[in-house]
Structure 1
Amino acid sequence: MSNQSILRITRELSEIQRGSDLSLAVACRDIDVRHVRALIIGPPDTPYEFGFFEFTVKFTRDYPTKAPAVTAITTNSGRTRFNPNIYSGGRVCLSILGTWRGERGEEWSSAQGLESILISIQSLMSQNPYENEPGFEDAKSEYDKKNQDAYVAKIRHESLRISVIERLEDYLDIDRGKVPGVTMYNAEEDYKSGADDAADIPFEPFKDLCKRRFLWYYESYIQSIDEELKKHKDGDRFEKMPFEGPGNTMEGTFQYSSLKSRIQVIFNKLNDEASLWATEGLEAVRKEMSIASNLQRQFEQIGEKYKKNDAITIDLDLVEKNPFVWQLVLFGRPMTNLDGGVFRIIINISPKFPDVLPRVRFETPIFHHRISPKGVLCYDARRKDDMRSHIEAIIEAIEEESPAYDPRTLVNLEAAKLFWGAPDERKMYNRRLRRSVQDSSEFS
Structure 2
Amino acid sequence: MAKSNQGETSITLDSSSDDSSPPSWDPMPTSPITPANTPQCLTTSSPIDGLRAQAQQANDPTRSLHFVQRVKRDMLAIYHDPPPGIFVIQDEQDLTLIHALITGSFETPYEGGFFYFIVRCPPDYPIKPPKVKLMTTAGGTVRFNPNLYKCGKVCISILGTWPGPAWSPALTISSVLISIQSLLTEKPYHNEPGFERERYPGDSKRYNEIIQHETIRVAVCGMIDNDYGLTIPQPLVEAMNQSFLQFYEYYESTVKAKMHLTGNTMQDPFGEQRGVFNYKNLLTRLETIYNRLKPKDSSSSSSCSPESD
* Pair in the same fold by TM > 0.5: yes
Which residue number in structure 2 is paired with residue 151 of structure 1? 207
Which residue number in structure 2 is paired with residue 222 of structure 1? 252
Tell me how far apart the structure 2 counterparts of residues 214 and 108 of structure 1 sit (CA, whole Å). 34
Counterparts in 2 of 1:362 and 1:2: CA distance versus 1, 3 Å: farther
Which residue number in structure 2 is paired with residue 128 of structure 1? 187
Does the 8 A contact of 2:147 with 2:154 survive in 1?
yes
Please point out which of 275, 282, 291 is paired with 1:252.
275
Question: Is it true that 1:212 corresponds to 2:253 in the alignment?
Answer: no
Q: How many residues are aligned here?
A: 245
Tell me how far apart the structure 2 counterparts of residues 223 and 31 of structure 1 sit (CA, whole Å). 41
Please point out which of 277, 284, 287 is paired with 1:264.
287
Q: Offset at 1:169?
A: 2.4
Please point out which of 85, 88, 112 is paired with 2:171.
112
Please point out which of 374, 381, 395 is paired with 2:304.
374
Q: Deviations over 1:311-364 (max 9, x none)?
A: xxxxxxxxxxxxxxxxxxxxxxxxxxxxxxxxxxx7xxxxxxxxxxxxxx764x
Q: Within 5 A, what are the aligned runs for 1:48-197?
A: 48-102=110-164, 106-137=165-196, 139-141=197-199, 143=200, 145-170=201-226, 186-188=227-229, 191=230
Tell me how far apart the structure 2 counterparts of residues 107 and 21 of structure 1 sit (CA, whole Å). 22
Gaps of at least 5 residues in structure 2 are: 1-62
Give TM-score, length-normalised by structure 1.
0.52
Q: Offset at 1:140?
A: 4.6
Among all aligned residue pairs of Structure 1 and Structure 2, give the percentage whose two residues are the same amino acid: 35
Secondary structure (helix, strand or coil) at the match of 1:225 reads helix
Counterparts in 2 of 1:6 and 1:222: CA distance versus 1, 3 Å: same
Q: Deviations over 1:18-67 (max 9, x none)?
A: 33434001112225221111110000000000100001101111111110
Does the 8 A contact of 2:83 with 2:178 survive in 1?
no
Q: Within 5 A, what are the aligned runs for 1:229-240?
A: 229-230=259-260, 232=261, 234-240=262-268
Does the 8 A contact of 1:81 with 1:250 survive in 2?
no
Q: Which has the higher helix share?
A: 1
Tell me how far apart the structure 1 counterparts of residues 119 and 82 of structure 2 sit (CA, whole Å). 21
Secondary structure (helix, strand or coil) at the match of 1:206 reads helix
Q: Offset at 1:204?
A: 4.8
Which has the higher Rg, Structure 1 or Structure 2?
A: 1
Tell me how far apart the structure 1 counterparts of residues 100 and 173 of structure 2 sit (CA, whole Å). 9
Q: Which AA in structure 1 matches 2:303? A: P
Q: Which AA in structure 1 matches 2:66? A: Q
Q: Which AA in structure 1 matches 2:204? A: Q
Does the 8 A contact of 2:147 with 2:191 survive in 1?
yes
Which residue number in structure 1 is paired with residue 17 of structure 2? none
Does the 8 A contact of 2:136 with 2:223 survive in 1?
no
Does the 8 A contact of 2:210 with 2:268 survive in 1?
no
Tell me how far apart the structure 2 counterparts of residues 140 and 210 of structure 1 sit (CA, whole Å). 34
Question: Is it true that 1:34 corresponds to 2:96 in the alignment?
Answer: yes
C-alpha RMSD over aligned residues: 2.3
Farther-moved stretch of structure 1 (249-258 vs 148-157): 249-258
Tell me how far apart the structure 1 counterparts of residues 263 and 75 of structure 2 sit (CA, whole Å). 43
Tell me how far apart the structure 2 counterparts of residues 7 and 31 of structure 1 sit (CA, whole Å). 16
Which residue number in structure 2 is paired with residue 442 of structure 1? none
Does the 8 A contact of 1:79 with 1:250 survive in 2?
no
Counterparts in 2 of 1:133 and 1:19: CA distance versus 1, 3 Å: same
Tell me how far apart the structure 2 counterparts of residues 49 and 121 of structure 1 sit (CA, whole Å). 15
Counterparts in 2 of 1:229 and 1:60: CA distance versus 1, 3 Å: same
Q: Deviations over 1:134-186 (max 9, x none)?
A: 1012x355x1x32211111000000000011122223xxxxxxxxxxxxxxx3
Secondary structure (helix, strand or coil) at the match of 2:258 reads helix
Q: Offset at 1:17?
A: 2.6
Question: Is it true that 1:8 corresponds to 2:70 in the alignment?
Answer: yes
Does the 8 A contact of 2:266 with 2:274 survive in 1?
yes
Tell me how far apart the structure 2 counterparts of residues 10 and 261 of structure 1 sit (CA, whole Å). 42
Tell me how far apart the structure 2 counterparts of residues 45 and 257 of structure 1 sit (CA, whole Å). 23
Question: 1 or 2 for the larger relative contact order (CA 8 Å, sep ≥6)?
Answer: 2
Gaps of at least 5 residues in structure 1 are: 171-185, 193-201, 276-345, 347-360, 364-370, 376-413, 415-444
Does the 8 A contact of 2:103 with 2:111 survive in 1?
yes
Secondary structure (helix, strand or coil) at the match of 2:89 reads strand
Does the 8 A contact of 1:95 with 1:107 survive in 2?
yes
